[in-house]
Amino acid sequence: MPEEIILETRGVTKRFDGFAAVSGVNYRLREGESAGIIGPNGAGKTTFFNLLTGMFPPTEGTVLYRGADITRIPAHGRVGRGIVRTFQLVSVFDSLTVRENLVLALIRAGKEHAVSARFFLEDAWSGNLPDLSAGALGTVGLREKALWKTSELSYGDKRKLEIALALCLRPSVLLLDEPFAGLSDVEIVEVLELIHRVRKDFTLVIIEHKISRIVDLVSRLSVMHEGKLIAEGEPAEVLADPLVRQVYWGRP
Amino acid sequence: MITTLVYGFTIGGILYILSIGLSLTFGSMRIVNFAHALVYTTGAYFLVVALRTLGLGFLPAAAVATVAVLPIAAGIERFIIRRLYGESLDYAIIATYAVLLIGVDLIKWVFGATPIPLSDPIGRDVGLFGISFPLYRLMIIALAISIHGGLYLFFKRTIVGKIVVAGLEDKDAVRSLGIDVDRYFAIVFLVGSGLAALGGVLYAPITSVHPYMGFQVLLICFAVVIVGGMGSLHGTFLASFALGMVIAITGRYWGPAAETMVYAVMAVVLIFKPLDV
Ligand SMILES: Nc1ncnc2c1ncn2[C@@H]1O[C@H](COP(=O)(O)OP(=O)(O)O)[C@@H](O)[C@H]1O
Ligand SMILES: [Mg+2]
């Protein structure tokens, strides 16, 4: 059933002190697709992700996952259902080692891993964690840096680690918030290639400011502007939309 | 002089036991918890009850008093602190200060306002460098150092410790790993409260037990937290002993200025290392 809707919002609105950062958004994500969300700075893209992931509840509206209302389910509960995200500003833990970051990501991965049942950190390494973490680190190309302090990684490596953590959580929907922001050109190519490699395993939504980077990556594009979805469709179609051109380039 | 140093270390030890919970609560939950002083005062009063009403010896009485405070601390966490998440800092200050005031009035109502003196529970001195010190004070210092060691190992070696460390750094990122970080912060809050109660229990025989004892130490504890850095284990440890020493040394030469010096040190620290809240 390729047409099944995995994630949906109905009229979600988020107001901060009366200011509507997200306003009446109806959004549908089909299982297995790769979708993009673009829009100028301050359009409400990150806030929309926060509503999808349950970082805070919407002021109005509902969020549905495979048809079930998850509006009141907190962020950690949604991760358990497979809704996983990364942040616009890389969010890995500088005060831990790379491997300790992975331990945290594997706590919720289930009882089959040693982590959830262990008290001491050292004991966590006794199960299949070494293989799992090596696997995840191998996927993103950080295997040699497992014992590094995270604070010593480059920003690009931190982004790759963040994606490795997300992969450990076995996402059914992965939401990437501007994964290329702050990376060098070389790193952008590496992360793009990484996303291409892993995206077959889940439904993907990617927020990006620069349209050109994700046109090849996504099959559907949504445009946000001032908290509203103003256009949606195939990338070429959307980019030809006069309203979108007006918002992006100031002319139709 | 050595007497002054031991006095300073004793105060430092008590300050550490008292402040570490405050520091961790601030660092993790971003809440300035004035009710911490109530937990401390309650610990001291529960000690009085355990000693006088239940007739227990000091060690069992101290244990009973510390443990008996935990349900109260859990109630404060569940019904007050948890509702303050995401609210502004000053809102939390007002709410927890109200809890402190109400609690202190309750204590006055139940136990009266008259200070209750307690005697040194060990009542033995030991000789050191040819000077004799109350063994009780030396034991407080040793206990504070062991508690610090225990907490250090907890944060360094256990998975729960790592969750808390990560949560101190970025709470939302921990939530996004599917971890109910508030639950772990609640554990930290309980441990910190238990230590505050223990601090009240340990300090009671040195001063005296009265309803306002919490107010006295609260501001000094805030100074410790600010000087040591919020949420920092080692920082709180060092700041406790440094400020304990400041109190002891200033007190030796000019008693009334002892506490004022603490705030002077805090002011200097704030000038060179402004708070980022
Ligand atoms: N926690 C918040 N409190 C107040 N305003 C916020 C908050 N988060 C976002 N906003 C505001 O909402 C608007 C949309 O922000 P955001 O979702 O980050 O946009 P984008 O990700 O598209 O750049 C901005 O004007 C921003 O200032
Ligand atoms: Mg954004």
- CB of residue A155 inside a 6 A radius of ligand 1: no
C-alpha A158 to ligand 2 mean position (Å): 18
CATH number of the domain encompassing residue A16: 3.40.50.300
The pLDDT, as a whole number, for residue A5 is 94
Residue A208: closest CA among A31, A6, A13, A49 = A49
**Which amino acid is it at A50?**
N
Q: Are B73 and B194 in contact (CB under 8 A)?
A: yes
- CB of residue A21 inside a 6 A radius of ligand 1: yes
| Distance spanning both ends of chain B, measured CA to CA | 39
Residue A158: closest CA among A135, A141, A134 = A141
Residue B42: closest CA among B104, B122, B116 = B104
The pLDDT, as a whole number, for residue B1 is 77
Tell me: the pLDDT tens digits for B107-131?
A: 999 999 999 988 888 878 888 777 8
CB-CB under 8 Å, A104 with B163: yes
d(CA B172, CA A55): 7
User: Between A95, A103, A108, which is nearest B169 by CB?
Assistant: A95
Q: Which ligand is located closest to the Cα atom of residue A40?
A: 1
Q: Does B273 touch chain A (CB under 8 A)?
A: no
CB-CB under 8 Å, B180 with A87: no
Q: Which ligand is located closest to the Cα atom of residue A47?
A: 1
CA Rg value for chain A: 19
For the entire predicted model, the pTM comes to: 0.88
Q: Helices B181-203 & B58-79, crossing angle to 10 degrees?
A: 140
Q: Are B172 and B30 in contact (CB under 8 A)?
A: no
Q: Are A22 and A80 in contact (CB under 8 A)?
A: no
Tell me: the pLDDT tens digits for B195-227?
A: 999 999 999 998 889 999 999 899 999 999 999
The pLDDT, as a whole number, for residue A1 is 47
Q: What is the domain extent for residue A98?
A: 5-249
Residue to mutate, A25, A41, A47, A52, ligand 1, most ligand atoms under 8 Å from C-beta: A47
- CB of residue A225 inside a 6 A radius of ligand 1: no
Residue ranges per domain, chain B?
A: 2-112+132-272
d(CA A229, CA B244): 59
| DSSP 8-state secondary structure symbol assigned to residue A29 | E
Sheet strand arrangement including A68-69: A19-30, A5-16, A60-65, A68-69
d(CA B103, CA B99): 6
- Those residues whose C-beta lies under 8 Å from the C-beta of residue A118, and which sit 6 or more positions away, are A124, A127, B159
C-alpha triplet B62, B131, B149: angle, nearest 5°: 45
CB-CB under 8 Å, B159 with A103: yes
**Which amino acid is it at A133?**
S
Percentage of the residues of chain A whose pLDDT score is greater than 70: 91
CA distances to A114, A178, B2, B169 from A83, rounded to whole Å, are 23, 17, 61, 22
CA Rg value for chain B: 18
Place of tokens 């100028």: A40
Look up residue B28 and give its two tokens: 């993790």
User: What's the structural domain count of chain A?
Assistant: 1
- What is the pLDDT tens value at each position of chain B, 277 positions in all? 778 888 899 999 999 999 999 998 888 888 889 999 999 999 999 999 999 989 889 999 999 999 999 999 999 999 988 888 767 778 888 999 999 999 999 999 999 999 998 888 887 888 877 788 888 999 999 999 999 999 999 999 998 999 999 998 999 999 999 999 989 999 999 999 999 999 999 999 988 899 999 998 999 999 999 999 888 899 999 999 999 999 998 988 887 888 888 888 888 888 887 665 4
- Cβ neighbour number for residue B275 with a 10 Å cutoff: 9
C-alpha A44 to ligand 2 mean position (Å): 7
Q: Are A42 and A84 in contact (CB under 8 A)?
A: no
Look up residue B249 and give its two tokens: 């040394």
The pLDDT, as a whole number, for residue B122 is 80
Which residues sit opposite B128 in a β-bridge?
A: B131
- Cβ neighbour number for residue A186 with a 10 Å cutoff: 9
pLDDT, mean of each 10-residue run, chain A (252 residues): 84 94 96 94 95 96 96 95 96 94 83 61 68 83 91 96 94 96 93 92 92 87 94 90 83 70
User: Between B159, B169, B174, which is nearest A124 by CB?
Assistant: B159
Q: Are B241 and B4 in contact (CB under 8 A)?
A: no
CB-CB under 8 Å, A93 with B173: yes
β-strands B125-128, B131-134 pairing: antiparallel
d(CA A34, CA A26): 18
Asked if CATH classification 1.10.8 holds for the domain at B2-112+132-272, the reply, yes or no, is no
Residue with the smallest CA separation from ligand 1 atom 6 is: A16
CB-CB under 8 Å, B177 with A165: yes
C-alpha A13 to ligand 2 mean position (Å): 16
- CB of residue A227 inside a 6 A radius of ligand 1: no
Q: Are A93 and A101 in contact (CB under 8 A)?
A: yes
